[in-house]
Amino acid sequence: MTYNIIRSKRKTIAIYITKEGQVEVRAPHKAKQKDINAFVLSKKDWIEKHLKRVEEAKESRLDFTLNYGVHLRLMGKVYPIVERLGDKIGFDGQCFYLPPDLPPSLIKEMVISIYKQVAKGTLTHRTMAYARETGLMPTAIKVNSAKTRWGSCSSKKSINFSWRLMMADEEVVDYVIVHELAHLKELNHSPRFWAVVESVLPDYKKRQKRLKDFQKEISHENWE
């Protein structure tokens, strides 16, 4: 089995499967090659199972396309893409509306633009509500196109969210918001950090799991 080794100061050996279907073995600097090989061999069944899932997701992403009539997720609900005469695009609470006769590639481009517009207003509003509740006030709230991080918090106390977060349900969205606000107080994932999160969302572990499940769902969709 072919795999890439990444050595670091970590204390244990771990295996990761990338989105491209590559096997990465992360190991301590002092780990012997024979021990790494033995560990990989012991995880053979796990690796093969996850490689199969990645391959299925890759095939699904290749087939992914958007067209009129397709239903999209937004804050836990689904809404159709509809044709509307004129040159305006947007979301009206009932549907994603676009001009008629657009090819799938342009439909996806415009839908992403709509998601970004909605994300800016919605995430700013919900973040400020939690900021007032907790007293943790960011210096700025921004929306970006991050592919692997739902949110991030800078040392300057600026919070960034991926527009893709809008496809999750409200409980997941609020979990990510509170998670990033907690970083304004604790720039780590220490017990003190999780105590801040739990003080706002006592059920944060349930929400955390739902976020992981959601991440698996959209791994089959090509939003790039």
Outline where the chain has alpha helix (H).
33-42, 44-63, 104-134, 170-182, 191-200, 204-218
Sheet with 90-91, side-by-side order of all strands: 71-74, 77-83, 96-98, 90-91
How far is the C-alpha of 119 from the C-alpha of 32, rounded, in Å?
48
| Distance in angstroms (rounded) separating the CA atoms of residues 155 and 170 | 27
Every domain of the chain and the residues it spans: 4-63, 71-218
The pLDDT value given to residue 148: 83
* Residue 79 contacts residue 94 (beta carbons within 8 Å): yes
Class of domain 71-218: alpha beta
pLDDT 10s digit of each residue in the chain, 224 long?
A: 789 999 999 999 999 998 788 999 999 999 999 999 999 999 999 999 989 888 888 888 888 999 999 999 999 999 999 999 999 999 999 999 999 999 999 999 999 999 999 999 999 999 999 999 999 999 999 999 998 899 999 989 999 999 999 999 999 999 999 999 999 999 899 999 999 999 999 999 999 999 999 998 888 899 98
pLDDT per position as a tens digit, 158-193: 999 999 999 999 999 999 999 999 999 998 999 999
* Dist CA 111 CA 77 (whole Å): 16
The pLDDT of residue 53 is 84
Q: What is the distance between the alpha carbons of residues 147 and 172, in angstroms, rounded to a whole number?
A: 17
Provide the β-strand partners of residue 81.
Answer: 96
pTM (two decimals): 0.80
